[in-house]
Each structure stands twice: as structure tokens, then as C-alpha cells.
Amino acid sequence: MKEPKKYIRTIFLMIVISALVLVAERAEAQRRVQGQRYTIVKSAPKSSLKVSYNNVEYRVHNHVYYKPVKGKHIVVSAPLGIRVKRLPAAASPIVVRNHVYYEYQGSYYLAQDEEYVVVQAPVGALVEHLPEEYEHLEINGEHYYVADGVQYKAVLKGDELWYEVIKVSDKAYS
């Protein structure tokens, strides 16, 4: 009689563990979707903060910006010119023409007066990853990538593939 109890307990534990894994995977998927640019969500996360900038009332959660659009919110890049006290934890430092920039999900930050201001991508910047949403272009056999009006080209840095900012349009980040 002890064997069926062990069997039932083992099955019960497997069900509980499976349920926990499923909940964790769904939470991670939701986090990724909510942070992916151009994703439209019904509402910004409840713990997001209201930030007014250039007559737009954004919601901000973990350095992800949500812009209101027709009763919903769309995930957008950090608006140009906005200032923040702290950088996103995952921001990567990039040195271009003796200036240190910080890149996070396609937004570029520059230190100014004990704060960080969001600026246009500096031409010449090398980044490890392209922003999440980009368009691939092939021109005369060359491959380019465009996101928010910023054009990138794949380059080798040592033996690793990186992306160089080669052009910023006048309509970048609009």
C-alpha cells in the first residue's frame, strides 16, 4: 500500500512543478511582449509612472516607455531630450568621438549635469545588438538595418559581429 501513496505524491509534485514552470514562462513572455517596441497593449503595467514630456503623457515601467494611442498604449523608444536620473541596468556604454554614450533597446543616453539625456544615435557607434524591431534592406548586395530612422551596417569587431550606426535621418525617433 505504500507504493500507491508514493506514486500519487510523485504525480502531485510533478503537476505542481509543471504549473509553476508554466506560470513562470507566461510571466516571462508577458514581460518580453510588454517591453517590445511597437507592441500595442491594453494598458501600461499598473506600477508604471506617469511622465509628461512634450505634451505627451507617457507611462514608464523599468525604462520602457508606453505612449497612449486611442485608449491603449504602444511601446516606444525613450523620447529624445527626456532626462533620467538613472540609466537602465542593462544599458551598454559606447565611446564615440571621445564621448561616452549608453545604449539601451535602441535609445542612446548621454551624461549631462548629473543626469542622462536621451539623444540621437551617434554616427559611428558600434552596438552588439540591433533594436528589437528593425527593417532589413539590401542595396547593391550590401545589407543594412533600419530602426527609428537610424541605419546600421553589420561589421566585424575582432571575430564578432557588431552593428555600426552609419546614418541618422532627420525623422529619427519621431
Model pLDDT for residues 118-169, shown as the tens digit of each residue: 998 899 988 888 876 789 999 999 999 998 888 999 999 889 999 999 998 8
Residue 36 scores a pLDDT above 80: no
Contact 116, 87 (CB under 8 A): yes
Q: How many Cβ atoms from other residues are within 10 Å of residue 84's Cβ?
A: 15
The residues with which 163 forms a beta bridge, in sequence order, are: 127, 154
From the list 78, 28, 38, 42, the residue with the least C-alpha distance to 58 is 78
Query: Residue 34: which pLDDT band, with cuts at 50, 70 and 90?
Result: very low
Helix or strand run (H / E) with residue 145: strand 142-147
Enter the pTM of the model. Answer: 0.65
More reliable by pLDDT, 50 or 20: 50
Alpha helices in the chain (DSSP H): 2-35
